[in-house]
Structure 1
Amino acid sequence: MLAEADGTVPHGSESSMRTSSINNNINPDSSILISKMDKVVIPFSPQVPCAEDGQRMWWAFLASSMVTFFGGLFIILLWRTLKYLWTVCCHCNIKNKEAQKVNNPANNQAADRTAKGPDEKEEAAASEVGWMTSVKDWAGVMISAQTLTGRVLVVLVFALSIGALGIYFIDSSDPIESCPNFYNDFTLQIDMAFNVFFLLYFGLRFIAASDKLWFWLEVNSVVDFFTVPPVFVSVYLNRSWLGLRFLRALRLIQFSEILQFLNILKTSNSIKLVNLCSIFISTWLTAAGFIHLVENSGDPWEDFKNSQTLSYWECVYLLMVTMSTVGYGDVYAKTTLGRLFMVFFILGGLAMFASYVPEIIELIGNRKKYGGTYSAVNGRKHIVVCGHITLESVSNFLKDFLHKDRDDVNVEIVFLHNISPNLELEALFKRHFTQVEFYQGSVLNPHDLARVKIESADACLILANKYCADPDAEDASNIMRVISIKNYHPKIRIITQMLQYHNKAHLLNIPSWNWKEGDDAICLAELKAGFIAQSCLAQGLSTMLANLFSMRSFIEIEEDTWQKYYLEGVANEMYTEYLSSAFVGLSFPTVCELCYVKLKLLLIAIEFKSEQRESSILINPGNHVKLQDGTLGFFIASDAKEVKRAFFYCKACHDDITDPKRIKKCGCKRLFAVEDEHPSTLSPKKKQRNGGMRNSPNCSPKMMRHDPLLIPGNEQIENMDMNVKRYDSTGMFHWCPSKDIEKVILTRSEASMTVLSGHVVVCIFGDVTSALVGLRNLVMPLRASNFHFHELKPIVFVGSLDYLRREWETLHNFPKVSILPGTPLSRADLRAVNINLCDMCVILSANQNNIEDASLQDKECILASLNIKSMQFDDSIGVLQANSQGFTPPGMDRSSPDSSPVHGFVRQASVTTGSNIPIITELAKPGKLLPLVPLSQENKSGTNIQMITELVNDSNVQFLDQDDDDDPDTELYLTQPFACGTAFAVSVLDSLMSATYFNDNILTLIRTLVTGGATPELEGLLAEENALRGGYSTPQTLANRDRCRVAQLALYDGPFADLGDGGCYGDLFCKALKTYNMLCFGIYRLRDAHLSTPSQCTKRYVITNPPYEFELVPTDLIFCLMQFDHNAGQSRTSLSHSSHSSHSSSKKSSSVHSVPPSNRQNRSSKTREARDKQKYVHFHVLSLEKKWFTDEPENAYPRNIQIKPMSTHMANQVNQYKSTSSLIPPIREVEDEC
């Protein structure tokens, strides 16, 4: 106890007050040895101030603990000994009785009678044991953490133990032994209450213990022995001894168990870390308490004269420097007991410090840097992005999701991945730290889903690895992610990428998967094949559509180059917005024209609600559809703010405004009423959920322009069709009975003898081990039912037969499909299929994504492309038989496949023509012979063959065109092959993830455009049977044919030739829309059209949504959405505009509407002048009448044959037709199901 030199005690503290009261009881005759150090007096008197005789009572406190411990231990051992002896004796008696029973059989009855007594005793004992067992079970339940009561009790005991340790810390500043008044000392009262509770808990533990001896020797029991009894002794003796109360620190060892009971610690690393820390700290504090006790008390054999005053925290410091082997020497032990303890503690403490501390540091260092929990921000939504998280996938996603053209993206992006990001990805996250967070974990772990607050997320987006070696395994992983997320929170909206089309069916098996609530699966194989297929019908369309749903910033170029016009179109995107009530009651073409002319917006589709309130997307539906109130429109515009004009437009306020930028919200009540009822879908706060949209095909059966059964002259034909299966059960695709693959295989010699022209050649580099590409998705758009049978382009696959056998199960119900076993790298195979006469050559990737060098992933496709471009074709003379679709080879429209030697193709010497040679389009009278076509001597190279090449790696696009000047680091959409529509990479589909999140209608529109009309009904059918099912031609299925399709319109001739030479694009737009219900939305222009050079390049590029005043040139091809022509399937007497493109003036035409021949004659001179300017060669049509073969049936359909403009690549090679008198057999016009 500290005291002043004059014997007074400083006041101001509870300790000093206690000392003052103690000093009042000091005997004045007692001698006190004091030593003065800096005005502080340290008493070393062995006498206790509160005792008259000066005797210490520490032994009484220690004796109470020792007697309790050893007394209880003696009783337990004595009980065990007696029980053992009793068991041995009873066992011997039983053996003796059994021996007597065996030796004296006559006494069995007596033995049985005498055995009844012991049996009854055993039953009584059993009942007594049962009572003890029930009490024991009750005590076990009370202290078990398996029940709520047990958990509360365990946590309460631990908390009170820590409280008792805290009281010890407070009392450690007092003398080791003092005489406080129990009724006045608040801390002593609290400590007493705690120890009473510990005593009761000790009793419960003792009752519940199965082995009483081991329980008695447990650490927690020893702690109670040396802390509980001294408290009761202190009350009896009215004095306090600090003693061994520091042992309460050993309760800290249970800290990890308590946290596990509270469900706070769940991972092994966290449990191990807490265990190590609790053991280290509890050992440290306990040892400090012992040093504090012996140093402040002194050695008993020295009569406590060698004590020193050390605070508890000085002892803590002493043990830390001792464990760490530093040992400054400023504080050290003076007592013998203290030094002896330090000797042993250094051995154990050093070992513990050397092992525990590094492991603790390692666990803390290995703790996940991104292992926290997401904290949601009020008023701000968040989405969770998981799956394939890499620098490339994340950067592409963020670039599109956070694009500035989007309207106020107030969404936070939370990435969840089980691998920590590398430095580059981490830097990307830091650049977007205000809107992006990353957490390390797995969506398969519910704990990690809870960390990212998946239940409150607006959506969950799952990215797929497009470059994986096993697409099916990647899809399976993503499906498992969907299952895990839906199992955790069924209502969460999920948008996932799928690689293979056939794996989409597995998503339908998830009960909570519901596309009506916004769940979507973006199948990359389906969309990729659909884009490529649409390019076969209108080259460059894949580039245009890919740019429309991708967010691109406007790049301004001053120079008058093709890049300037291309980039102006790239800045356009697809948006949705509700149409103003000013448009209600107007027809779609009228609204479309008004939006384009006045609002500078291109409206291409609307969401139409039927009388049953079912929604469907109608693409350019025609003038039979009147707009309803609250109609959702699909627009092509440069940013979201421009699209607002369609919502704000008011006829009363904005009718006389010429500047569309001045069209803003007005004060009309009607506008505000619509605004409140139909908020914009551009904001992520309101995403459209279309109840029945995807169940309906892109048509309105109850509002058809023409009923096919009511068209004059159709009754007989349609009645025949009712009994013939020409289409699948949904009526969306052409269908034929399944064919064996052997019947469609062409040998090289057979292919050479077959007239192939205007067909599609698909070069595939797959083998028996390659992953399936999904060729059905490529064929389906080319067999859509909105084409007439004679308009279908024949498809010839060139590749490994083993691979094509694996795909054939999905292709055997499509007509006009053939296979040439071989390799696309063989020029002989390519010549056999008349590669120079094809409308399109498709080169598909080999899916060899396991190659380490990314540049070699596309080696086959690049080699095949360069091989075709380097091929040369000889000039010849040929005869062409043309139909309304352009150039279909003779025999392709035979009434039966059996009427020709090979698969419906006519065996003749194949016909080839020169390329880039326009032929004057005229109507020939029936019965006339087709004219002979002299060929040009120019452009005999394969570079004029239309091709589209699929690439896996975007950077490999630089190898496709040797004459371009693209930088290797240029983005794909800025390269010339992509701008020209000759290259396509699956990476452009990444933008669909964010586009679908902001508006799921966009995905429905894209899927409708590129797949030819695939519906969820059809997907369910394919999931069941993996093949199309044929259906009868009913009015319902035939009505599904009435949907528009994409085509290309040539301007050098035809009804729009007057606008082709210097006309305005806006005039063409309005004329096509008013006259033919055709919706123009882009231009496919020659790359060098702006240059006045004699020999122009035949490459074309895409211009999306040109402005009204954009000047047209005669060689332009116009992208348009054309209506279904009901009459084209019966008589080909009308002028047609081509739906298949060419690199130059080409054979672009496709049947749209009939145009009187007089119109063509009136524009004949202007058309020829335009051709003179473009260095075209003119040919005169020979009007020599010839007779058809004598075996021509009389009932054959009369036909007007017209010679279409054709390109140089169609005239490059005419196979073996040297004689000018050769005749071509007639083509029967009856459509065949195969």
Structure 2
Amino acid sequence: RPRGPAVMALLPSTVAVLGWWLFFGRDPTATAVLACGTACAPPSWQVVLVHIIAGLSLWGALLLVGLAVALCTRWRAPPRGFHERLERHQRRLDESVPYRLVRLGLGFVLSCFFGMRTYTKSLSDFEWALELLVCLVQLHPILLGWLRAFIEGTRVGVRFLCTSATLDTFLTASAIASAIPLEGGKSWVSLSFFAASHIASQWAALLRICDADKDALVLQALDAGVQLVSVTVFAASGMILVEELGDPAMFSVMNQREWNMVSALYYTVSTLATVGYRGMAPTTVLGRLFAVAAVLSGIAFVMVSVNKLNKLVELHSSGGATYVPGTDQRYVVVLGNPSAEAAQEFILEMFHPDHADDGDGLHVVFLLPRGTGVPQALARFKERPGSEQFRDRVHIFQGSVLNPADIDRVKVLGAECAFILPNMQCAEPVHEDTENIIRCMALTHASPDLRVIMMLLRAESQTMVERRKRAGPDVTCIIMDQIKLGLVGKTSDVPGFVPLICNLVKCVGEGDDEEQDENDDDDEGDTTKNASWQRDYERGLGNELYEIPLSDAYTDREALFTQVLLDVLARTDGTVHLIGLVEMPRRAGLQKRVLINPGPKYPIAPEGFWQTSGIFIAPDREAVVQCVDPSEDLLCGDRPPLTQDEEETDWDSVRDEPLVRRSVTLRASVETRGRGTRQEGEEEEEEELPAHDVDPRLLGVMRGPQRHKAKQLVALSKRRSKALYPPKPPTTVLAKGGHILFVCTGVGSTTDLRIGAEHFVSPLRQASTSKKGSVETPVVVMAPVVPHDWESVTQLSEVYFLKGSPLSEYDLDRANASQASVIFVCNIGNMGAIGNVGDAWAVDSEAVRCTRLVEAKLQPNAETVVVAEILAASSYTWLPIRTEQWRARSRLSAWSHLKSGLIDEAEEGMFERAESLIRSTAQTVHEELQQLRKVNHEGHNKSNEYNLHPRFASGQLFVGGILISLVANTFFNPSLNDMVMSMVSTNASAIKVPTRWVGKTYAQFLTHLFWGEGSLGVGLIRWAEQVGQERKSLGKRSIIRKTKDKLGNDANERHWAQRFPFVYTAPPASDTI
């Protein structure tokens, strides 16, 4: 791996040594063995032909070996992590500024070698060896890209050989061919001047890596100068080589007369270009008139052509071009109004290496509204280092799906799927959902068979889409507030539920020891990144949800769910976990059923009426191994005996009940849906008041349906009245503490606030009813205005509203935030849309400020869990784990004490501590400014690492980009959204591992849970300890007398430690507890 200072010091010294040797150190009389030395044969076309044949031979050899590699990878996958390590190594080289400088300098050196040989007409052994070494260095990244391309597929590899690898292949082969003797002897001629093109390409890459401002005048002039040098050196070298070679035999006849077809073409082109040719001119009158007409026509033609080119460039830059898919080319279309960061997250998820097989040859076409900066941001994103995999497979256009011309222009109706993404940072979510629903209606009207995956911001917007889906369109709705609030509400009762689900729906490459060692070298002292807890966490991070059809060996014998679970677990060495089933009906009138943990003795449905698939947690799809032979015994022991009730159970009738949902993750009982968990296609039941709550005189004049409707209307009216004046939290509830505080940030100036609180409270109430003797936890919602959708929680108990600002310390004290059990900082995001990814952090400014304010008020040993929501993934850098918050609070409190003037003169060393405080605070500000500069420089590459942060791993952070990952992965896994919703609506719980199971394998404890309690374990909650130290000042006496503690440590260093939980998702069965 290249190191910056070493390479930067080596580059000028190498150039200086080569320059001195070229002009002063060469010995022309030295005898050559491999090269021609001073007795070189004159250049000839035979020599050039040999060099061309050598280049074609090397290119063909790479093609044949690459095809063999591609064929082997089809038969047998490469070692796990090999492709990721290869990609990572290539990306590091591509993003290395010193490495790019070296390649640029070597390109210039090779061009100088060729220029010197045109004067000396000689080639020594040292020159030949040095030229070959430089060519091999230039070929190194080409070989890496060649191997990676052919591992991905034959088509990708051939395309790479025909584009990026051709130049360096001929360059290296020409250097080797210089040592081949011919009839007239060896020659000094080679194609080394081709390396002049590296000057321009490496310079352009340097500008991309450094994120240089291309609008700067100095940089534009420098860029033009470098491009001019590259073109001039290449053209001059090619010209002198052709002149040295002379005309071939077939062209020698043409130069016998001054005027011939070639000279006439040369004269005409130079005349049309208004350059002129002084060596020859027409002598006849008609010839001169024709030359004048040619000049005038040339000027007009150039002007018209330039105008057409400008219009064409403007058309393409404005996204007004036409998309022309290739033959049998797969592509998807992305519509809506996504932010730049959401669009980038979507691209990275669609082209993740985990989707290399399912997404082979897949293209993504964006049709974005005009007037936003998102297309320009995506264009810059495509040019960043590391985007070579999808740079040619992402197409950006501007227009509207409501315009038939735009639909035809981007070939929307021929796509495999259409995605409709909202702007999660918009100021009016209801208006945003309305626009996307209209887009969906336009698509389904134009093509009823087109698959549509749409993301909505509010669950209330789903009704119109669900009713239209009954007519047949294949529309999948992913509701942002329903999933987000359900996950956070569940994690309030089950620690770590948010990272558990989020990591299962997001593609994450598995780490390896090599990367960990390099990170340790690069980030010494960073206890957050190098903590040992990440090893277990990243193992679980590599697992994902997969829906795979079950083998006939299970369905034919009607195996129990437990048998299939244990059989798959045994065949995969405990790395793959079966957590549920997806049953697709083969007859009309039934709906698809997603069952998570249907129960230990639930039989797999036969193939007659149901098509059953398994829901697996696995590192990748290929890791799932099932029993294939129906005659083979299952690796799970004998089928357990059934009770009489279980034998008499009619499972077909149970499957035919469309309104029954089995509990998800742990408990295996059959129960009805909870409030707020309405299934797709199901109408919401209207509430009806008891008869004594309605005026009997009104009921007396009504009969039948009118009477029933009157009760419903009065019930709705009463609910609305309660919603206008929501109950305030009693003082006894706040004083007792232990409540859940739901604070709303980013509200802005809106009065139509909608928070969807029922999706947050319903999982909590569901968990309370499933636990015997449990008490409902009070929920206090704090917002500047009363939510407009408060009537959805009026029927739920222990839900209160407190009007106030979450950024006010006084209002937080009124809500007794310091003694709450859980504080959820909900980012409403009504601050306005942010189109530029560089300013995306602004939409999370209030949420970050509120989170840090709340945590600053907590005691160091407080057990309050603060869950923050951010919409921009890059904002996670401003929300460190609470250890850092506590340190910052200590400094802030001491500074406030000093500033207030309450100085105790008897307290020795106050001013010394103040000086140390100011220095440490300045150091903290400097570090944060450096972090901000780093985030702005690296952009989205670092924003994708939030799932490795301790705050996210402990369940104290929710990132809106997770929902974009869910949308993208639903394309590859159609039931993924149903799986997530089923897991959100489950009776999940965290069970403390008994002491007797400590030290035993996870498989033993998993079997005990499943058979003993009907519970299915999906992970372990472990505790990580983060340790660090900081210097502290103890006044004059402590500075003079540097004491040592009993362990010999410096007493001036204060050690701190912070413990936080993290989820180890689906650990291998062989791991010990």
2-side partners of 1:402 and 1:534: how far apart? 31
Measured against aligned partners, the alpha-carbon deviations of 1:464-483 in whole angstroms (never above 9, x if no partner) come to 33233443444344334333
Percent pairwise identity: 19
1-side partners of 2:545 and 2:531: how far apart? 26
- Cα–Cα, structure 1 residues 450 and 743, in superposed 2: closer, same or farther, change >3 Å? closer
Q: Is 1:604 the counterpart of 2:579 in the alignment?
A: yes
Which of 476, 493, 497 aligns to 2:455? It is 497
State the secondary structure of the residue aligned to 1:1079. Answer: coil
1-side partners of 2:531 and 2:668: how far apart? 45
2-side partners of 1:1108 and 1:608: how far apart? 27
- Cα–Cα, structure 1 residues 354 and 1095, in superposed 2: closer, same or farther, change >3 Å? closer
- Cα–Cα, structure 1 residues 755 and 583, in superposed 2: closer, same or farther, change >3 Å? farther
Partner of 1:589: 562
Q: Is 1:382 the counterpart of 2:331 in the alignment?
A: yes
State the secondary structure of the residue aligned to 1:866. Answer: helix
Q: Is 1:425 the counterpart of 2:382 in the alignment?
A: yes
Measured against aligned partners, the alpha-carbon deviations of 1:968-988 in whole angstroms (never above 9, x if no partner) come to 647100101001111111112
Matches for 1:881-900 after TM superposition, within 5 Å: none
Matches for 1:116-155 after TM superposition, within 5 Å: none
Which of 792, 802, 807 aligns to 2:789? It is 807
Matches for 1:686-765 after TM superposition, within 5 Å: 696-699=659-662, 740-741=722-723, 744-746=726-728, 750-751=730-731, 756-765=736-745
Matches for 1:884-923 after TM superposition, within 5 Å: none
What is the Cα deviation at residue 449 of structure 1?
3.3
1-side partners of 2:726 and 2:559: how far apart? 50
1-side partners of 2:291 and 2:999: how far apart? 103
2-side partners of 1:693 and 1:518: how far apart? 22
Which of 597, 602, 615 aligns to 1:625? It is 602
2-side partners of 1:1075 and 1:501: how far apart? 38
Larger Rg: 1
Partner of 2:481: 525
Confirm or deny: 8 A CA contact 2:339 2:425 kept in the other structure. Answer: no
Partner of 1:551: 507
Measured against aligned partners, the alpha-carbon deviations of 1:227-285 in whole angstroms (never above 9, x if no partner) come to xxxxxxxxxxxxxxxxxxxxxxxxxxxxxxxxxxxxxxxxxxxxxxxxxxxxxxxxxxx
2-side partners of 1:694 and 1:443: how far apart? 42
Q: Which moved more, 1:809-818 or 1:562-571?
A: 809-818
1-side partners of 2:636 and 2:460: how far apart? 54
What is the Cα deviation at residue 545 of structure 1?
0.3
Cα root mean square deviation, aligned:
4.9
State the secondary structure of the residue aligned to 2:423. Answer: coil
1-side partners of 2:471 and 2:1002: how far apart? 39
Q: Is 1:572 the counterpart of 2:543 in the alignment?
A: yes
Confirm or deny: 8 A CA contact 2:423 2:432 kept in the other structure. Answer: yes
Partner of 1:963: 883
What is the Cα deviation at residue 1074 of structure 1?
0.5
Confirm or deny: 8 A CA contact 2:505 2:965 kept in the other structure. Answer: yes
- The amino acid of 1:583's aligned partner reads Y
- Cα–Cα, structure 1 residues 354 and 783, in superposed 2: closer, same or farther, change >3 Å? same
Measured against aligned partners, the alpha-carbon deviations of 1:951-995 in whole angstroms (never above 9, x if no partner) come to 223233233325369986471001010011111111122211222
- The amino acid of 2:447's aligned partner reads H
What is the Cα deviation at residue 564 of structure 1?
0.7
What is the Cα deviation at residue 621 of structure 1?
1.8
Confirm or deny: 8 A CA contact 1:400 1:994 kept in the other structure. Answer: yes
State the secondary structure of the residue aligned to 2:1067. Answer: coil
Q: Is 1:442 the counterpart of 2:385 in the alignment?
A: no
Confirm or deny: 8 A CA contact 1:544 1:1102 kept in the other structure. Answer: yes
Which of 1108, 1120, 1128 aligns to 2:1069? It is 1108
State the secondary structure of the residue aligned to 1:634. Answer: strand
What is the Cα deviation at residue 548 of structure 1?
0.5
2-side partners of 1:463 and 1:367: how far apart? 25
Partner of 2:952: 978
Q: Is 1:534 the counterpart of 2:534 in the alignment?
A: no
- The amino acid of 2:864's aligned partner reads I
Partner of 2:533: 562
- The amino acid of 1:810's aligned partner reads S
Partner of 2:354: 405
Confirm or deny: 8 A CA contact 1:1086 1:1097 kept in the other structure. Answer: no
Which of 1080, 1084, 1088 aligns to 2:1025? It is 1088
Q: Which moved more, 1:968-977 or 1:750-759?
A: 750-759
Matches for 1:639-658 after TM superposition, within 5 Å: 639-643=620-624, 645-646=625-626, 648=628, 652=632, 655=635
1-side partners of 2:285 and 2:463: how far apart? 81
State the secondary structure of the residue aligned to 1:396. Answer: helix
- Cα–Cα, structure 1 residues 870 and 943, in superposed 2: closer, same or farther, change >3 Å? farther
Confirm or deny: 8 A CA contact 2:768 2:776 kept in the other structure. Answer: no
What is the Cα deviation at residue 816 of structure 1?
2.2
Confirm or deny: 8 A CA contact 2:553 2:628 kept in the other structure. Answer: no
1-side partners of 2:817 and 2:316: how far apart? 58
State the secondary structure of the residue aligned to 2:795. Answer: coil
Partner of 2:90: none
- The amino acid of 1:1062's aligned partner reads G
Partner of 2:316: 368
What is the Cα deviation at residue 632 of structure 1?
1.1
- The amino acid of 1:871's aligned partner reads K
- Cα–Cα, structure 1 residues 351 and 767, in superposed 2: closer, same or farther, change >3 Å? closer
State the secondary structure of the residue aligned to 1:956. Answer: helix
What is the Cα deviation at residue 1099 of structure 1?
1.4
Partner of 2:856: 870
- Cα–Cα, structure 1 residues 515 and 946, in superposed 2: closer, same or farther, change >3 Å? farther
Which of 1002, 1007, 1014 aligns to 1:1065? It is 1002
2-side partners of 1:722 and 1:624: how far apart? 39
Unaligned stretches of 5+ residues in structure 1 = 1-310, 658-691, 709-720, 730-734, 873-939, 1013-1043, 1113-1234
Confirm or deny: 8 A CA contact 1:518 1:1000 kept in the other structure. Answer: no
- The amino acid of 2:496's aligned partner reads G
State the secondary structure of the residue aligned to 1:1049. Answer: coil
1-side partners of 2:590 and 2:979: how far apart? 19
Partner of 1:151: none
State the secondary structure of the residue aligned to 1:1085. Answer: strand
- Cα–Cα, structure 1 residues 740 and 868, in superposed 2: closer, same or farther, change >3 Å? same
What is the Cα deviation at residue 637 of structure 1?
1.0
Partner of 2:34: none
Confirm or deny: 8 A CA contact 1:870 1:941 kept in the other structure. Answer: no
Q: Which moved more, 1:450-459 or 1:845-854?
A: 845-854
Matches for 1:24-423 after TM superposition, within 5 Å: 330=281, 356=304, 358-368=306-316, 371-378=321-328, 381-388=330-337, 392-406=341-355, 408-409=357-358, 410-417=360-367, 419=375, 422-423=379-380
- Cα–Cα, structure 1 residues 394 and 754, in superposed 2: closer, same or farther, change >3 Å? closer
2-side partners of 1:423 and 1:536: how far apart? 40
- Cα–Cα, structure 1 residues 352 and 555, in superposed 2: closer, same or farther, change >3 Å? closer
Confirm or deny: 8 A CA contact 2:807 2:850 kept in the other structure. Answer: yes
Partner of 1:130: none
Confirm or deny: 8 A CA contact 2:661 2:670 kept in the other structure. Answer: no
Matches for 1:1043-1082 after TM superposition, within 5 Å: 1044-1051=986-993, 1056-1059=994-997, 1061-1082=998-1019
1-side partners of 2:630 and 2:274: how far apart? 83
What is the Cα deviation at residue 863 of structure 1?
3.2
Confirm or deny: 8 A CA contact 1:760 1:793 kept in the other structure. Answer: no
1-side partners of 2:584 and 2:438: how far apart? 36
How many pairs were matched up?
634
- Cα–Cα, structure 1 residues 837 and 458, in superposed 2: closer, same or farther, change >3 Å? same
Confirm or deny: 8 A CA contact 1:383 1:413 kept in the other structure. Answer: yes
2-side partners of 1:401 and 1:319: how far apart? 49
Partner of 2:843: 857
Unaligned stretches of 5+ residues in structure 2 = 1-260, 369-374, 517-529, 638-654, 673-686, 692-708, 710-715, 886-927, 936-941, 1029-1053
Confirm or deny: 8 A CA contact 1:318 1:331 kept in the other structure. Answer: no
Partner of 2:643: none
1-side partners of 2:618 and 2:856: how far apart? 40
Structure with the higher helix share, 1 or 2: 2
- Cα–Cα, structure 1 residues 517 and 574, in superposed 2: closer, same or farther, change >3 Å? farther
- Cα–Cα, structure 1 residues 470 and 723, in superposed 2: closer, same or farther, change >3 Å? closer
Measured against aligned partners, the alpha-carbon deviations of 1:667-691 in whole angstroms (never above 9, x if no partner) come to xxxxxxxxxxxxxxxxxxxxxxxxx
- Cα–Cα, structure 1 residues 499 and 653, in superposed 2: closer, same or farther, change >3 Å? same
